[in-house]
A = this chain, B = another copy of it.
Amino acid sequence: MTEIPKFRPKKTEHFSRHPHVGYRVGGRIWLEHDGELYMGWGRAMLLERIDKFGSIAAAARSMKLGYRNAWLWIESANRLAPSPLVEKTAGGAGGGRARLTDEGRRAVKDYKKLRARFEDFVGQAA
């Protein structure tokens, strides 16, 4: 017998039933800059949680994301953005903090809007 791996799409997706029972439409959508990922579902979630918790560490924990990856995502997004999406300070009250900038809030809002339209599309793509 052979292995035959199951190609299971990742979990950050949006789906919708297909006319033929058991079949679903799945999709992803994101923004990129210079061929690099700029904003997607994971990053938008992370930014929202940074806004909510005031720290990268807490935000990452809350979504079971490793701190390292959270930090890398933010570095990347900050670098690709017209101006930083997240401002960070190490040390100080509580050990340090991070806050979402206006540009960050705008980026999240824009992506969520695109995403909503996309889910709409996928929903009626059945």
| Pick from B22, B31, B33: contact of A33, CB under 8 Å | B22
Given contacts A82-B20, A114-B25, A125-B117, contact A8 B30 (CB under 8 A): no
> Can you name 22 A-B residue pairings with CB atoms under 8 Å?
A4-B72, A5-B72, A6-B76, A7-B36, A7-B37, A7-B73, A9-B30, A9-B35, A9-B37, A23-B38, A25-B29, A25-B30, A26-B30, A26-B31, A27-B27, A27-B30, A27-B118, A28-B28, A29-B125, A117-B125, A118-B125, A121-B121
Which B residues touch A35, using CB under 8 A? 8-9
User: Distance in Å from the Cβ of A112 to the closest Cβ of chain B?
Assistant: 13
Chain A interface mostly helix, strand, loop or mixed?
mixed
